[in-house]
Amino acid sequence: MDATTLELDAVKFAQLAVQRDQSGRYQEAVFYYKEAAQALIYAGMAGSNLENIQEKINEYLERVQALHSAVQSQNTDPLKSKQQLDLERAHFLVTQAFDEDDKGNAEEAIELYTEAVELCLKTATETSEAGLQSKLKQLARQALDRAEALKESVSKSSQKEKSTSAKPNQPVRTYFPLGPDFSLNDKPQTIRAVQASESQGQRYTAEEIEVLRKTSKINGIEYVPFMSVDLRERFAFPMPFSDKCGKLPLSPKQKAMFAKWVRPDDITNNPTMIYTVSSFSIKQTIVSDCSFVASLAISAAYERRYNKKLITSIIYPQNKKGEPEYNPCGKYMVKLHINGVPRKVIIDDQLPVDHSGELLCSYSNNKNELWVSLIEKAYMKVMGGYDFPGSNSNIDLHALTGWIPERIAMHSDNQAFNKDSTFRMLYQRFHKGDVLITTATGVMSEEEGEKWGLVPTHAYAVLDIREYKGLRFLQLKNPWSHLRWKGRYSENDTRNWTPDLQKYLNFDPRTAQKIDNGIFWISWEDLCQYYDVIYLSWNPSLFKESTCIHSTWDAKQGPVKDAYSLANNPQYKLEVQCPQGGAAVWVLLSRHITDKDDFAHNREFITMVVYKTDGKKVYYPADPPPYIDGIRINSPHYLTKIKLTSPGPHTFTLVVSQYEKQNTIHYTIRVYSLCKFTFSKIPTPYTISKRVNGQWKGPSAGGCGNFRDTYKNNPIYQFQLDKNGPLLIELRGPRQYSVGFELVTVSTVGDPGSHGFQKKSSGDYRCGFCYLEVENIFAGVYNIIPTTFLPQQEGPFFLDFNSTTPLKSKNREISDDYCNKSTEGTALAQAERKTRLGSLWLSLACGVWAKDCFILTKLKFHSAPIFPTNLC
């Protein structure tokens, strides 16, 4: 916002403050005086030329101080009677009926009008107040007249007339997070390759629909994806609405102070949704959700500064201007970005209070405002209750806004941190409105926290960033609305504040000493020293193109650790067409969470690794080396940034990775780009998959070809291919052993030409896993010899065969070339060897024998069983 707009805000708030002050509504006056002062502070920072601006700020804040005692001693206005509240509900029923009437929804409108009439007539019999009776009867008459007119219109109109005369049955505002036709019961596609900015009518695969269905149930309650039809949710009822899911569980601190649940009209006679969106009015209480309250604060500050609906747009019901409104019927809907998509959260307006009638949840300093308490309640409901285990602002801001989360660790061994470049980036992007910022302290002793005025492991909202003559500052807000920084540039610092600096920041230490609102300035150097992490949330509208894929990684797929093999990791192909001048592509991996214990402990460490392999599958973690390696973190969100400098096509392989995978995870990958791209799961070309269990034991643990005397004792597997085609062979063994294998041609059908080979190997011996992929192997008979690098390394192994054509095996004698001529060349030794190989062939057969061959089972997905713990 520019200086002129801020000045006008200050005038508006000052006028409202004076009006409330003169009418004795001191609590509201305090709220508006604070807002007027803050608007002037921002106006000064924006270059306002108003004279004596600091004096006026001080005047407002001094009046706030004077009114505090008046607020404490002021007798509150009497609460409304039940009949007055019924009249408000009847008015709301009629208002909602008008909306349905206006949209051509006659049946819905008639029902609402009728309920309003019944409520008015019932309430009129319960009161003896003539004025109230008159209002109730007048409203009933208006509603009845309109209902009768609608009924007559419906009965006279033919079906054809209705279809041509009725207004389109569409809501005023539309939002299609999954496409207008999306349903969890859609008939799915089998595969889907997504392109940037797909049309909203896109369909989802069976896997994606199943992911969204499974992760809709969070802490035992279903939160379905938010869709355009939800804008027609009914909010008006004759009786106060109560959430069918019951009351939210309270935290231990709340339970110790809890008296009862109340509705807003039980504690205030003038409840409203929002007076004005302000970050300064938000106050956290005893719920351990500091990061969520900090996220609310900076979202409100952004909406106020840039006049863009960010936080108020997620609350329903809304009026025709898209502004959230107070509902005397007590039902609200909040749209939160949870588990891959925006989701619908229904709540009632019952809030916990103590024995003094004070709220035991976060609230606005203007006690009549409800938006803070209601949004917090919706989020706490999804998280399992007010006994919230704590979070971080990356998670909370993403849920509130859907903006792109990023984490900057200032004291990490794994992540480089440059103070100067980071500040420049934060300063520039913050003032462009591109990013929301919070910061958090780390673990510290109580003594250190007391010394510096900091709370250990606590989140703070970043309200402003400033630079003055080489000095760099951030303005922070403690969600508690009290307890401020005590170091340099605090309100009690008498050494570092200069008149010019005070004027530039519009900060008067003497005035600040009078009111502790939890807001303070801190130098960038001190923040880097005493704080631990910075959380950023980026505006997704920075990117022209975006799309996403929802998927599942089954715990049974692959080893617990992927330190040696990525063969079973989910992998994706990203093709980007980079224009002249370069571009940026960001990839956000989000793990879905459905259980509060999972959220509290979060033992799943996830990351995204990027390879430059032209979109081909990657099998070894370090071969080739990653283009962008990932840090495994136990946050549900992980952001990878790909910077492109050269114009033209770029193709990457993206690999999802975990540290010690124990559980099945559901996740969403969302790609944001400044240029066109295509994003898809890497398909397997193989339609046939089969696993063989074997072991190296005793003489058969012969080691590699360097050990000529024992190499010949290794197990040998033989197979036959009737057609040319691709072939993938994977060997998995104990990860403490280096393993490899050879593929030897026995015979081919016809002359293979350039496709022929005598012998191929899996390459260098590797710990626990190796593979060989042949793009086009010629029809014929082949032997496979799996080995460890050293002899006498005993243990089990798996051989996985993947092809597009059935494999046939022959139970035949193995050439005497593989038998030792001197010690094992006897008839007994050869007989023993034939018996051993025959039993191995039996383990390879999965079906019935026919014509000396068997057909391997055709599978849609290559899914391996759980490995023994001693195998990679």
Which structure tokens are listed for 184?
């969890």
Same fold, 544-681 and 688-844: yes
| b/e 245-273 (16+ beta carbons within 10 angstroms → b) | eeebbbbeebeebeeeebbbbbbbeebeb
Backbone φ and ψ for 298, nearest 5 degrees, come out as -75, -30
Q: What is the pLDDT of residue 192?
A: 57
CATH fold label, 404-537: Cathepsin B; Chain A (3.90.70)
Q: Look up residue 137 and give its two tokens.
A: 């009867």
- What pLDDT, on the 0 to 100 scale, is given for residue 9? 86
Residue 754's pLDDT is what? 78
Tell me the C-alpha distance between 850 and 810, whole Å.
11
Rounded average pLDDT over 247-261: 94
Q: Locate 799 and state its tokens.
A: 């051989």
Asked if residues 388 and 289 have their Cβ atoms less than 8 Å apart, the reply is yes
Q: What are phi and psi of 462, to 5 degrees?
A: -95, 110
Location of structure tokens 């124990």: 662
**Does 870 have pLDDT greater than 70?**
no
CATH number of the domain at 3-73, please? 1.20.58.80
Least confident of 116-120, 304-308, 356-360: 304-308
727-768 pLDDT per residue, tens: 999 999 998 999 999 999 999 888 888 778 999 999 999 999
Q: Cα separation of 812 and 204, whole Å?
A: 49
Running DSSP on this structure, what letter comes out for residue 185? Answer: T
pLDDT (0 to 100) of residue 179: 39
Per residue in 156-200, pLDDT (tens digit) is 764 555 455 545 554 433 333 443 344 444 444 444 566 665 544
Q: Say how far apart CA 637 and CA 12 lie, in whole Å.
A: 41
**Active site positions, annotated:** 290, 458, 478
Largest CA distance in the chain: 119
Domain parsing of the chain, residue ranges: 3-73, 82-165, 222-400, 404-537, 544-681, 688-844
* Closest listed residue to residue 265, CA positions, set 26, 81, 95: 81
Q: Is the predicted pLDDT of residue 844 greater than 70, yes or no?
A: no
Return the structure tokens found at 563: 């330190």
Tokens matching residue 806: 């059935």
Average pLDDT, the chain: 84
CA atoms within 13 A on the CB side of 585: 27
Q: Whose structure tokens read 């569980």?
A: 249
> Per-residue pLDDT for 813 more than 80?
no
Q: What is the mean pLDDT of residues 95-120?
A: 90
Report the candidate in 107, 89, 86 with the shortest Cα–Cα distance to residue 153.
107
DSSP at 170: -
Q: What is the pLDDT of residues 788-812, one digit of tens each?
A: 999 999 999 999 999 998 887 653 3
Which residue has better confidence, 831 or 610?
Answer: 610
CATH number assigned to the domain with residue range 82-165, chosen from the 4 options 3.40.50.360, 3.10.20.30, 3.40.50.10860, 1.20.58.80 = 1.20.58.80
CATH number for 688-844 (one of 3.30.920.30, 2.130.10.10, 2.40.30.10, 2.60.120.380): it is 2.60.120.380
Per-residue pLDDT, 753: 82
What tens digit of pLDDT does each residue of 674-688 get? 999 999 999 888 998
Q: Residue 69: CB partners within 8 Å, gap ≥ 6?
A: none
Confidence at 19, pLDDT banded by 50, 70, 90: very high
pLDDT, position 389: 79
69 token code pair? 């005692």
Q: Is the pLDDT of residue 343 over 80?
A: yes
Closest Cα to residue 636, out of 683, 669, 609? 669
Residue whose C-alpha is closest to residue 576's, from 566, 586, 561: 586
CB-based contacts of 518: which residues, under 8 Å, 6+ apart? Answer: 477, 478, 479, 480, 481, 482, 483, 484
Residue-wise pLDDT for 193-232, tens only, equals 666 655 444 578 888 999 999 999 999 999 999 998 898 8
185 or 419, which is more confident: 419
Tell me the mean pLDDT in the region 698-708. 94
Assess whether pLDDT exceeds 70 at residue 856.
no
Task: Tell me if 510 sits within 8 A of 462, measured CB to CB.
Answer: no
Condensed to tens digits (0 to 9), the pLDDT of residues 535-588 reads 999 999 999 999 999 999 998 887 777 888 898 899 999 999 999 999 999 999
In the predicted model, is pLDDT for residue 831 greater than 60?
no
Please give the pLDDT value at position 161: 54
DSSP 596: H
How large a percentage of the chain has pLDDT more than 70? 86
For tokens 């400044």, the residue is 674
What H or E segment, with its residue span, contains residue 591? strand 583-591
Which of the four pLDDT bands, split at 50, 70 and 90, describes residue 352? very high
Helical spans, DSSP H, in 496-648? 499-505, 509-514, 524-530, 596-601
What band does 829 get if pLDDT is binned at 50, 70 and 90? Answer: very low
> What is the spatial distance between Cα 689 and Cα 863, in angstroms, rounded to a whole number?
9
Residue 837 has pLDDT above 80, yes or no: no
Q: What is the CATH number of domain 544-681?
A: 2.60.120.380
Beta partners for 550? 668
pTM over 0.85: no
The residue that leads in pLDDT, 854 or 612, is: 612
CA 293 – CA 362 distance, rounded (Å): 8
Tell me the per-residue pLDDT of 275-293, one tens digit each, with 9 for 90 and over.
888 877 788 887 777 888 8
Instruction: Give the list of residues 6+ apart from residue 203 with CB closer than 8 angstroms, or none.
Output: 179, 182, 186, 188, 189, 192
d(CA 453, CA 447) in angstroms, rounded, equals: 10
Q: Which of 89-98, 332-341, 389-398 has the largest mean confidence?
A: 332-341
Q: In the prediction, which pLDDT does 178 show?
A: 42
Q: What is the pLDDT of residues 601-617, one digit of tens each?
A: 778 889 999 999 999 99
Q: Is the pLDDT of residue 861 over 60?
A: no
Asked if 94 and 142 count as a contact pair (C-beta separation under 8 A), the reply is yes
Closest among 663, 598, 662, 673 to 635, alpha carbons compared: 598
Q: Cβ–Cβ contacts within 10 Å for residue 849, how many? A: 11
- 260 pLDDT above the threshold of 70: yes
Q: Which residue is associated with the tokens 């402990």?
A: 601
pLDDT at 556: 82
CA Rg value for the chain = 34
More confident residue, 468 or 175: 468
Rounded Cα distance, 825 and 817, in Å:
10
**Share of residues in the chain with pLDDT > 90 (%):** 52
Q: Answer whether residue 93 shows pLDDT above 70.
A: yes
